[in-house]
Structure 1
């Protein structure tokens, strides 16, 4: 039997170094979000806090706070979540993401009216767009970031209690700064449903929704989450 100390130190050091060095790569290499956006730290913090608040809300309403089809599917495949709850969770996640996008469209409608696609009224507000468009590489980046996220997530136990939702949010911030500089979706519902809302709703002066790319942030996180949850189950 493999020594548990060895396994724990291996996985922990792997996550630590991947996030730490990944941050260095994001700061040092060309065409990363950290280099091309002065607001990347703000984006990561906003999504981290958004997920923390979402987990708290979901938990209070009676769910396990997944908020992410990749997590739900991976947990079910690895025996960490009952299959009979998968479809209700997926439905809630995709519909909830669509409704969230509607809220943004309503609140910012006047701003959409005065902003053209080349000025920022584009799909990156609603879905993810890679720093360098290379679908296979971007798929690997999505899978890798989600793998790290779910590997850590599975070791938090019930991540809906106490301050754990904030820990989940901090995890998202760390992944975004360290491994999310290429593409940062890690959630099929978070990308697909808002992208759909941007496509079919009357958003003024909107740009192209880029559906040719949409398969990457849909399937990449699912594969990464299955690998992360699978590895956690094995060890």
Structure 2
């Protein structure tokens, strides 16, 4: 794989991942969306299918890591860090592009949602949950990035670490192609269902980022977009879905080398 193939593949793949994953969050959340209120099951499966689509689309180019945690875990397994910066750059850029495309696709729904007094004027203390209950979190931030239901930093961090360890161990033991550098055809399907499982089982406390680029790139886009009444981007929490998955990747990669290699 050339550096250009890696960068293009990771940018395209992560953009599709966030477009479809963030898209299901927008569909479930936003006023005047036909899927509004479809619930957590739709979100978990939406993200799983987003992973599957993006991986099948770009695996031949870059191995379809689409996640800095996966890239770091594979680098630990192989003791090869030479292409890690290229992977990370493509993933972050792709995540930002995907988030911007969600805004374009749901432009009218964003405006309807964020100009509805019943949504933007509800006091924080009157039952707003998830990202809405967090300080400095706007009423649509959960479409772009994750946030805890109960803000206990050590627990939130531990949840992200645990979920990422499960993900990277599944990728390393079941998902890699023949050269071990990325996801194979069967691995894409397995990984997609692992993501669904993590969402259903471990997603409740934090919204399961398990991918630093998935959270950081769209959070940056949320901060930049001209959304009316969007509220803050909750930068005080932003370190958790970045640090947690990276720590989980190191732990998962270490477990693989000790137990499976």
| TM class by smaller structure | 0.7 to 0.9
1:57 equivalent in alignment to 2:54: no
Aligned twin of 1:105: 103
- Choose from 196, 201, 207 the match for 2:220: 196
1:40 equivalent in alignment to 2:40: yes
Aligned twin of 1:94: 92
Instruction: Report how far residue 38 of structure 1 moved.
Output: 6.4
- Matched residue count: 197
Instruction: Report how far residue 79 of structure 1 moved.
Output: 2.2
Aligned twin of 1:174: 197
Aligned twin of 1:163: 186
Rounded Cα–Cα distance in structure 1 between residues aligned with 2:51 and 2:185: 15
* Cα deviation 1:169-198 (Å, max 9, x = unaligned): 001011111122212100000000000001
Aligned twin of 2:240: 216
Instruction: Report how far residue 127 of structure 1 moved.
Output: 0.1
Superposition RMSD in Å: 1.8
Instruction: Report how far residue 164 of structure 1 moved.
Output: 2.5
Aligned twin of 1:16: none
Rounded Cα–Cα distance in structure 1 between residues aligned with 2:91 and 2:57: 13
- The gaps in structure 2 that reach 5 residues or longer are 1-36, 121-131, 133-138
* Cα deviation 1:120-168 (Å, max 9, x = unaligned): 8421110001121111110010001111111121101326333331211
CA contact (8 A) 1:101 1:126 kept: yes
Instruction: Report how far residue 40 of structure 1 moved.
Output: 1.0
1:150 equivalent in alignment to 2:148: no
- The gaps in structure 1 that reach 5 residues or longer are 1-36
Rounded Cα–Cα distance in structure 2 between residues aligned with 1:167 and 1:195: 28
For residues 125-140 of structure 1, what are the structure 2 equivalents within 5 Å?
125-140=143-158
Instruction: Report how far residue 203 of structure 1 moved.
Output: 2.1
Q: TM-score, normalised by structure 1?
A: 0.79
Rounded Cα–Cα distance in structure 1 between residues aligned with 2:77 and 2:186: 26
Rounded Cα–Cα distance in structure 2 between residues aligned with 1:59 and 1:150: 17
* Cα deviation 1:52-81 (Å, max 9, x = unaligned): 111112213x1011100111122213326x
Aligned twin of 1:186: 210
CA contact (8 A) 1:195 1:209 kept: yes
CA contact (8 A) 2:160 2:209 kept: yes
Rounded Cα–Cα distance in structure 2 between residues aligned with 1:203 and 1:53: 29
